[in-house]
Each structure stands twice: as C-alpha cells, then as structure tokens.
Amino acid sequence: MATYSTNEFRSGLKILLDGDPCVILENEFVKPGKGQAFNRVRIRNLKTGRVNEKTFKSNESVESADVVDTDMQYLYYDGEFWHFMVPDTYEQHAADAKVLEEAKDWLKEQDLCQVTLWNGQPLLVSPPNFVELKIVETDPGVRGDTATGGQKPAKLETGAVVRVPLFIEEGEVIRVDTRTGAYVSRVK
Amino acid sequence: MPTFRASSNGPDWRPVASLATLRLRARALQRVRAFFADRGLLEVDTPQLSAAAATDLHLESLQVSQPGGAALGWLHTSPEFPMKRLLAAGAGDIWQLARVFRGAESGRRHNPEFTLLEWYRVGWNAAALMDEVDDFLRAVAGPENRGQIPIEVRRLSYREAFTSYAGFDPFVAATDDIVRQLARHGVAVPNSLGDDRAACLDLAMATLVEPALDPRQPTFICDFPATHAALARLKPGNPPVADRFELFLGGMELANGFHELTDAAEQAGRFEADLDARRARGLVEPPMERRLIAAMTQGLPDCAGVALGFDRLVMILAGASHIDEVLAFPWGHC
C-alpha cells in the first residue's frame, strides 16, 4: 500500500483515515521555534462528507486512498440505482442515492459528470459546474421586464427548483451553476 | 501577492515577491545594518557548510555530498556554534545575517532556506536582551510603520501564558491532562504522540497559546521549563526555569533568545542526550560540534544571544500572510 509523508501533504491529496477515504482540504505546518513540528489538516471524509480537523506529527506517514476521478456519462435511473458509463471503455457503474446526493438534481440522461471511484466503487458523483436544463414549470413571463431584477421560482426537467428572472418562460432552456444553484443565463 | 501566469515560453521564471516588497526588504536590511553599526556590534560571517551539525531532536540539517556521493558536510541550521567560538576567542558583541537551511520545514511561515539574524551581547542576561530586541523592532519598522508596532510590549512567563490560554500549568500538569485540555479546545492529538510530554506542550503552544496572543503587540514569553532549555542556562528556583525567551508578533514566533549556557560539561551532556533521543527514534545522528565544547572548556564569556527570523519580520512589515510573498524565489521557484 502506498503511503504519503506529511511532507507531501497538500490540498486535494486523498488519504485513508480510520478506514475511510478522505481528501485534504487545507494543510498547515506548525512548529514552535525549538520543538516538535506538526501538520494540522482539515479533511473531508469522502464517505460521510463530514469535515474534520486532524493533527499529525510531522514526518509521520499515512496510507494513500485509492481514489480516482473518472469522467462518465449518466445513462438512466432504474428507481433504485443511477447508472453510469465510461465513454471510452463502455465500462458501467451503478450508484445509490447516498452517492448521488449532491448531483441528482442536476443530472440529465446522456450528460457527462465526474464519478469518484474508491477501490473501483462509486463514492461520489459531481455534476458539471454548469448545466443546461429546460424549465418545465414556472409562472408566466413578464414581457420586457429585463431590468427590475425581480425573480421567481422555476422547476427544471430534473426536478431542481431555481430562482430565475421574471422574463423567463416555461419551456426555455437555461444555464445553471450547480455549485451555487444559481441561474446564469438563457440558452437560445 | 501578484499572480503571474505561466508563460508559453517554458517554466515560470518570475519572482514571487513583488518589486515593492523587495524594496521594503532592502530598506529593512539597511536599517538592520545601521542599528548594529550604531551600537558598535561587530558584523561577522561564519560558514554555512560545516563538518558538524545541530543535534537538536527537532532540527533536521541538510547533508551535502561530494560529486560521486561521498558525504562532505552539513548545512547549518543557525550560525550559533561558530559565533560562540568567536565569543570564546574574545570577539565581544557580534552580529550576523545568515542564510540557514532546515530540512522538512515548509509552509506558510517556513521556507527550507531562510535568513536568520543572530546577535550576542557579552555580560547581558535575557531580560536586558529583550529590551534591545524591542528597540530593534522599532528601529527596523521605521517611522512609516510606527503605528504597526504598538509601544506597549507584553512580557509573560511560559507558566502565565499556559495558565491563561491553555488552561493548565505547564510545570505540573500530567501528560494525560495536557492531552485532555487540547481535546477540550478541539485540537486532535495524534496517538503517536504517546506520553511525549514535551511534544504535547509544543502542540499546546502552537495551537492554544500562539493564536491567543494579540498579533499586533510584541509579546515576549520567558522562563521556559527545563525540558525546553535548548542552549539556555537554567535559573535556580523551584522548579528551575530556563533563562530563555521567545518573541511573538504577527501571530508568529519571531525570535528566540537565551542567556547562554557556558558550562562545557553540561553542553556536552545535552548534545549526548539529544543524540540518544535521536537514536531511540531512528533519526539521523549528525556529528556533534566538538569544537564548540572545546571553546566552552576554554571559556565562553557570560552572554545572551538571540536569533530572529528576518523573513518573518519582513512579512509583518509587508502585511504578508505567506513567507513566499517576501522571497524573490522561494522553494519551488528556484
């Protein structure tokens, strides 16, 4: 099993802690002038999503987590599992609701997204930063109102509800930032 | 901090520190030289490369090899040993700006190569040297930074600092209690620390005491436990304390000073104990500096010395949060 020394710690590094895969968010090297050095890190447990602080003695080593991010195409939802495919190899993976928590409101069949695999199993699905989705339900548009800055809720084809400007109509396709859930623009 | 985009013409060659910061750094260097010239200290320069090295458990000296791989020597982690040999030879008050090297130290406030300012005062103790360090700070900050360093300097003992900010007495608390206090403050203690009491104190210093100090007020912490004496002499008392101080400013340790140990036998004993501890942990055992022991046997005058991180001082003056911002070419760019 590969290991990392605390010297190699940097944000984004995937390590195994108490049996769970974690990603380092922040790493701070602290050392009193004449004394033991430490690495204080903020880590996210990739299984539970929880963020924790942890302290290591500098020069300790930690097991690496076999975690890889792979681009996959979202195929379909069978009522229990979401199915994905690696476009180049046609290799398929199924993931459950826990893994899809962040992504399921934004995924449309055929869309590409990032699937994080741990020991070959899906751990997390991340939607693209921007998605283009059709509005299936919203109040009628206020014609010509492009200036007042007013907003209204709109339901998208994936089920997500976002705030859109008043002039947007049902049936239009809009661009949404999935990291914030914010409307970006109309897509013509 | 300026962000330069890597150009299409190969690796990024540009400096990391802005030219304005480099000018500020140059001005600080001029003021350092003027300060010591005014006070009549002798500027010295001693080798960076030496056959012996620091034995300190927590300092990793970098080793230099000859072409072909045979060991040549070690890069110094501070100019302390040769400066003390100069003191023993009767040089009097001396100072030096040294480029020093420490392995496995890299972070927001650490670069493996950095500039250490070190000076010695013959016949002084730690208290007198703390006053001079305070004068020094104001002189280097200059009139344009007067507001940045308040007049009020704070001095507190290691014991006061811990009882105030860490919630325990560092001279009496058992290791278990220290670990419990750390946990109570949300600091996860690595299991590997075991019953290493000194390391638990270091962790509490770095995570509980240091962040609690006012970053704008120069704060001296003095009278360290004997376990943290390093090269300081012990002041008799119950318990005996090391006549040592650390200066904190800008949320960082900026300087470390000692009323220097002059007893050659005790110095040799501390080196041996360091090497024993290194052996027990499977760490590299660099050769101890026997020339220093010989000089001390001949007679090191009663003196106090301080080492100050010059790059960190520039960080404070420049308002920088990362050491890379005050270095033209930090590690990774050179």
Parallel, antiparallel, or unpaired: how do β-strands B154-157 and B219-225 relate? parallel
Find the residue in A nearest to B199 (Cα).
A36
The complex scores an ipTM of: 0.81
**For the whole model, what pTM was predicted?**
0.80
Parallel, antiparallel, or unpaired: how do β-strands B219-225 and B241-249 relate? antiparallel
- Tens-digit pLDDT string for chain A (188 aa): 789 999 889 888 999 998 999 999 999 999 887 889 999 999 999 888 889 999 999 888 999 998 888 999 999 999 999 999 999 999 999 999 888 887 888 998 998 999 999 988 999 898 888 999 999 999 887 766 666 678 899 999 999 999 999 989 999 999 999 988 899 999 97
Q: Which of A7, A32, A54 lies closest to B253 in CB terms?
A: A32
Chain A residues lying within 8 Å of B192, measured CB to CB: 56-57, 60
Chain B residues lying within 8 Å of A59, measured CB to CB: 104
Angstrom distance (rounded) from CA B306 to CA B300: 16
Question: If residue A186 lies in a helix (H) or strand (E), which one and from where to where?
Answer: strand A182-187
Tell me whether residues B199 and A54 touch, CB distance under 8 A. no
Angstrom distance (rounded) from CA A66 to CA A23: 11
Question: B125-182, pLDDT tens digit by residue?
Answer: 999 999 999 999 999 988 877 666 666 789 999 999 999 999 999 999 999 999 999 9
pLDDT at position A31 is 87
Question: If residue B204 lies in a helix (H) or strand (E), which one and from where to where?
Answer: helix B197-204
Chain A residues lying within 8 Å of B206, measured CB to CB: 30-32, 38
Question: B43-87, pLDDT tens digit by residue?
Answer: 999 999 999 999 999 999 999 999 999 999 999 999 999 999 999
Angstrom distance (rounded) from CA A76 to CA A53: 37
Report which of B63, B65, B67, B87 is spatially closest to residue B76, judged by C-alpha positions: B63
The reply to whether omega before B190 is within 30° of 0 (cis) is no
Angstrom distance (rounded) from CA B171 to CA A105: 57
For chain B, the average pLDDT equals 93
Angstrom distance (rounded) from CA B29 to CA B317: 12
Angstrom distance (rounded) from CA B102 to CA A31: 12
Instruction: Check: CB of residue B87 under 8 Å from CB of residue B303.
Output: yes
Q: Which residue has the tokens 């996210």?
A: A44
Distance from CA of B104 to the nearest CA of A (A): 7
The contacts of residue A21 (CB under 8 Å, 6+ apart) are A14, A15, A45, A46, A47, A65, A67, A118, A123
Tell me whether residues B108 and A29 touch, CB distance under 8 A. yes
Which band of pLDDT confidence, cut at 50, 70 and 90, is reported for residue B19?
A: very high
The DSSP annotation for A140-167 comes to PP-TT--SS--EEEEEETTS-EEEEETT
pLDDT at position B1 is 47
Cβ–Cβ contact B208 with A under 8 A: no
Tell me whether residues A30 and B192 touch, CB distance under 8 A. no
Q: Which residue has the tokens 């009139």?
A: B143
For residues A39-76, one letter each, b for 16 or more C-beta atoms within 10 angstroms of the residue's C-beta and e for the rest, the string is bbbebeebeeeeeeebbbbbeeebebbebeebebbbbe
> Per CB distance under 8 Å, which residues of A are interface residues toward B?
7, 27-38, 40, 52-60
Q: How many residues does chain B have?
A: 334
